[in-house]
Structure 1
C-alpha cells in the first residue's frame, strides 16, 4: 500500500499540466517549431483581446441574482446572449415580461464574475499574457520563481471543498455553451503550479461530476497530471483514501496508465533504425 503522509505537504511546484514542447536532437527548438508557436500565440492572443460580442452596449440591462446570498450583477442582454444558455432564457422569460431579472442560486458569485468579465473583455483575471521574448504564455501578476498562484482556488460551499478556479470556470462555461471560454480556462489551468494534492483530487472529482462523459479535455488534463506527477501522488495518504473510495475517475486513471505502459512497451520493442556511417 502507499505510505501515508500529510496531504497538505504535497504540492505541485514542478509539474504543470501543459503540453510538452517538441525539441530537436540537440535540445533546442527548431526554426519551424518557433515559427509555428509564434503563429499560434498570435492567433490565440487575437481571440482573447477582443470581446466575443464586440462593442454593442446599447441593449437592455439584465439583473442577475447569483448564489445563495443573491448577489446582484448586471449585464447587457446582447452580451449575455452570447451564451446559448442565456439566449434561451432571454427569449423565453422576457418575451412578455418587463422585469429583466434572472436568478442563479446554484452559481458561485466569484466564478460568475469571471464569466461576465470574459464576455465583456475576452479574458478574466488573472489574464493570460504572451511573453514575446520567451515565446511563452504566462498568467498576470504571477511570479514563476515563487510559484505565486494568484486567485488559483475558490472554496465551493455546496461541494464543501477548495477547488481550482479554472476548473470551476471550465464547468460553468460547459453549462453556458461557451467553448472559447472552456479552452481559455484549460490553458490557464495548465499554467498553475504549487497546488495541493487535496485540491487537485477534489477538483478532478468535481470535473468528472460536472462535465459530460465524452469530455476529452478537462478529464484528460487531470489524468495526465496525475500520471506525470505519480511520485507525488503515491506518497499521498489523500490519494490512497480517494482511490479506496473509487469512482469513474480512478477507473479512467487505471486505463490511462495501462495505455501509457503499452506505449512504452511498444516503443521499447520497435526496431531501431541503424545509424549510417559518416
Structure 2
C-alpha cells in the first residue's frame, strides 16, 4: 500500500521544482483566497444550496444527459454558464434546436464525475469536502473514513481506464475540459490528502491523467511524476510498475530503475560528511 499524504512543511524535491509544483502551504494559502472568492460569487448570485428542481423563476433550468445510459441531471443555466464549455453548449443548443435547447448531452462523461462538478458549481466543493484544521494550520478532508486501509470514496471505477482511479484525478480532467480553473486547483490539492492508495491505482490514475489532459497542461502530470519519484523505493519493488513499463518496452523499466538508483546515490552522497582541507 502506498500512502500519498504529504507533509505540508516538507520542502519540494527536484521534480516538484522542475515542473512548477509548489509547496502544500502555498497551495493552502492560494486555495483559501480562491475559496473566499468563490463564496462571494455564490453569495452575489444567491444560488440555492442544492440542485434545482425546475421551479426557480430566476434562471432557466438546463437538463444534462450524462453517460451512455443518459442519466439526467438538472441545473440552472446561470450556474452552468460559469463554465465556458457550458456557456458555449447552452448557446449552441438553443441555436440549433429552439424546442429542445434546454438539454445538453455528455455521452462520454461519467455520472459520478459530473455529480462532483455540479456539486462544486453550487457549493464550492465536492465530497469529501475540505475542512480547515486551525490548530495545525492545514487543510484536511472533512471527516474522512477508511476502508481496507485507504480513504473511502477516494477512487471510482473508470470504464476508459478499465479499473479504479482516483476520483480527484477524474474531476481535475473534467474541470480542465469545462474551463474551471479553481476546481482544478481544488481537486489537485484534495488528491494529495488521501492515504493508503495502491501502486496499481496510482499508475492507472497517471495514465488517465496523461490521456485526458493536453500536452501543455503540466500540473497534474507533474504531480504524478513527483509522487512516483518521492515514493521510488515502493515503485521499484512493484511488480505492477514493471509490468506497466514493459508494455512500452523493457528499456523503459530499466531506465526507471537506473534513475532511481542514481537518485539514491545522490541522496547518500549528500548526507556524507565532507572533509575540510
**Larger mean Cα displacement after TM superposition, 150-159 or 178-187:** 150-159
Partner of 2:99: 98
Count the aligned residue pairs: 244
Q: How does 1:162-241 map to 2 (within 5 A)?
A: 162-241=164-243
Describe how 1:1-278 pairs up with structure 2 within 5 A: 11-13=1-3, 15-16=4-5, 20-21=9-10, 40=30, 42-47=32-37, 49-50=39-40, 54-56=44-46, 58-95=58-95, 97-99=98-100, 100-142=102-144, 148-246=150-248, 257=259, 261=263, 264=266, 268=270
Give the Å deviation of 1:69. Answer: 1.1
Deviation, 1:212, is: 1.1
Measured against aligned partners, the alpha-carbon deviations of 1:44-72 in whole angstroms (never above 9, x if no partner) come to: 54246456584255210000111111111
Q: How far, CA to CA, are the matches of 1:148 and 1:199 in structure 2? A: 11
- How far did 1:76 drift? 0.5
Distance 1:186 1:45, change over 3 A: same
Range with greater deviation from structure 2 (164-173 or 40-49): 40-49
Indicate the RMSD between aligned Cα atoms, in angstroms.
Answer: 3.4
**Unmatched 5+ stretches in structure 2:** 12-22, 48-57
CA distance in structure 2 between the aligned counterparts of 1:111 and 1:158, rounded to whole angstroms: 13
> What do the CA deviations read for 1:83-135 (whole angstroms, capped 9, x no partner)?
11111111121136132101111110011000000011111010011101111
Q: TM-score, normalised by structure 2?
A: 0.76
Residue 30 of structure 1 is matched in structure 2 by: none
Say which SS state the counterpart of residue 59 (structure 2) adopts.
coil
Q: Decide whether the 8 Å contact of 1:17 with 1:225 is kept in 2.
A: no
Does the CA-based 8 Å contact 1:37-1:135 persist in structure 2?
no
- Cα 1:180–1:39 change in 2 (3 A) is closer
Could you tell me whether the CA contact under 8 Å between 1:18 and 1:191 is conserved in 2?
no
Relative distance call for 1:119 and 1:236 in structure 2 (3 A) is same
CA distance, structure 1, for counterparts of residue 174 and residue 43 of structure 2: 19
Q: Distance in 2 between matches of 1:97 and 1:126?
A: 38
How far did residue 36 of structure 1 move? 7.9
